[in-house]
Amino acid sequence: MKTKTFQQIYDFCLLDRTYNEYFNIPDPFDCKTKREYLYYHGNVHPRGISRAGTFIYGQSMKQLEQFLNGQQESYHIHVDPCTFEIENDSYFFEGRIYIIAHIKQNGVQIEFNDPFTYKYDLDNDRIRFTTRSHRPFNTQGLIDEVKEYIEKKLRFAPGRYRDLQVEYEIPKEKFIDWYKNYKENLTAEAEVEWLKMYEKYHPTERIDFDESYSLLQAFGIFSDFGYDSDIEREQLAEEFMDLCNR
């Protein structure tokens, strides 16, 4: 049995009239004529069964089964978000990707959760899309579709931003605001580290002008540099004081 591709299933859903009949059933209040209403919603069985209720749906699903020729119609898969390897399907743990796939009106609809979004929005963490690729409609094909969707639409291109996004598990749509706060926090942390280093290595005792002048005079600096005038000595003492108090 050859596995159908997503594109083949899409073409079938688009072109097969018997399969599409179920999705085109008008609402009872939208029927334009009495004949149309009776055809779809009138009782065709003593137990009150209508074509819209059972028959058309049954024919549509039978047509789909014949097209798939025994192939599985839906999937429920748990995968690891880092390796994309299949995990135990019995339980759902936070951090895993839960993939659900069904054949709908327009082809295969894939639904999955992004672990990054799950941390921020528990009610709207499901992502849905319809695929038309030429991958086979099986477990590996679904995993590859989800992986490609995540790489293209939910993650940044390889680089610094992507590394930060993956490290801190930030959804793409929230990354800009998060990054602004991240840079502010980095700046604040750098300032704190600088202050700690300054307090550790900066001398706590400061010297005044008289102490600076006395030290230079005691060590004979004025004589060594030939500073004989008071103006030159005072200027050198001020420079030495500023240097010591930095």
Please provide the DSSP assignment of 197-244 as one string: HHHHHS-S----HHHHHHHHHHTTHHHHHT--SHHHHHHHHHHHHHHH
pLDDT tens column, 210-231: 888 888 888 888 887 888 888 8
pLDDT of residue 245: 77
Do 1 and 80 fall into the same domain? yes
- Asked if residue 2 belongs to a domain, the reply is yes
Residues 16 and 136 in one domain: yes
Answer whether 110's CB lies under 8 Å from 75's CB.
no
Distance CA 40, CA 190 (A): 72
Task: Pick the closest to residue 93 from 80, 112, 76 (CA basis).
Answer: 80
Phi-psi region of 232 (alpha: psi -120 to 50; beta: other; left: phi over 0): alpha
User: Are 129 and 233 part of one and the same domain?
Assistant: no
Q: Is the pLDDT of residue 193 over 60?
A: yes
Average pLDDT of the segment spanning 57-74? 91
- Exposed, middle or buried: residue 74 (CB in 10 Å: 0-12, 13-18, 19+)? exposed
What are the phi and psi torsion angles at 187 (to 5°)? Answer: -65, -45
Mean pLDDT in the chain? 86
Alpha carbons within 13 angstroms on the beta-carbon side of residue 43 total: 4
**Are 222 and 137 in the same domain?**
no
Q: Does residue 135 share a domain with residue 67?
A: yes
DSSP assignment of 29-98? GG-SSHHHHHHHHSB-STT--BIIIIIHHHHHHHHHHHHHTT----EEEEE-TTT--B--TT---TTSEE
Q: Is residue 171 part of a domain?
A: no
Q: Does 160 map to a domain?
A: no
Q: Report how many domains make up the chain.
A: 2
Q: By the 8 A CB rule, do 24 and 152 touch?
A: no
pLDDT of residue 1: 64
- Residue 201 within a domain: no
* Cα–Cα distance for residue pair 18/62, rounded to 1 Å: 9
Whether residue 169 is contained in a domain is answered as no
Domain's final residue, options 154, 177, 196: 154
Amino acid found at 208 = D
Question: Which domain covers residue 19, as residue numbers?
Answer: 1-154
pLDDT at residue 122 greater than cutoff 60: no
pLDDT of residue 119: 63
**pLDDT of 93 strictly over 70:** no
Instruction: Determine the distance from the C-alpha atom of residue 205 to the mean position of all C-alpha atoms in its chain, rounded to a whole number.
Output: 53
What pLDDT is recorded for position 233? 86
The pLDDT of residue 243 is 84
Q: What is the percentage of the chain residues whose pLDDT exceeds 70? A: 90
What angle separates helix 175-201 from helix 160-168, to the nearest 10 degrees?
Answer: 90
Tokens of 89: 């399907």
33 lies in some domain: yes
DSSP 173: G
- Same domain, residue pair 59 and 149: yes
pTM value surpassing 0.75: no
* pLDDT at 155 exceeding the cut of 90: yes
Does a structural domain hold residue 29? yes
